[in-house]
Amino acid sequence: GGNNGAWWGSPAYVAGQVGQAFSFDGASAVVVPHNANLDFGTGDFSGSLWVKTTSPDVFLIEKDIPGVGANDWFVHLTGSGRVRFVIGPGGDPSAVSSVAVNDGQFHHVVWVRQGTTISVYIDGVLRGQGSIPSGADVSSGYRLSIGAEVQDGADILTHRLVGAIDE
């Protein structure tokens, strides 16, 4: 409720896994202004999306203050195309999938925080797990972005996706 995003760059849509998907051209993102209902605190949470890309080293979704590294979380594709779910400072701790998803096909990506365990599921199969400190807080008070990392201050997009993201 109330978490409507706005396109940065040119809005585009393609056929998705479920209806239409956002189409990212490497120069766009969807940015959702801060809303307290997106600050999960120390509680459990999960999220999911469908992604189709051949890009490595891109952000799928993030609620992160780049360069600060506290109270944040993000889902990123590594240089080898594996899904990495990160909670906390400096990109660690994280859960990294054992399989790559940047093969140009749609893949269902699910990330879960349950207690001190973080997990990544790809196409319904658990593919990576990690541990986080007890009480790790992800209430950043920052906006959420989809399809890129938004650098604070200058509002510059980095780690930009070329591909599609669907609900």
| Residue of 95, 92, 87 whose CA lies nearest to 42 | 87
Residue with tokens 């140009």: 104
* Residue type (1 letter), 154: A
| pLDDT tens digits along 115-136 | 999 999 999 999 999 999 888 8
Residues 53, 58: Cα–Cα separation, whole Å: 10
| Backbone Cα Rg of the chain | 15
Does 113 have pLDDT greater than 70?
yes
As a whole-number percent, the residues of the chain with pLDDT over 70 amount to 91
Residues 88, 34: Cα–Cα separation, whole Å: 18
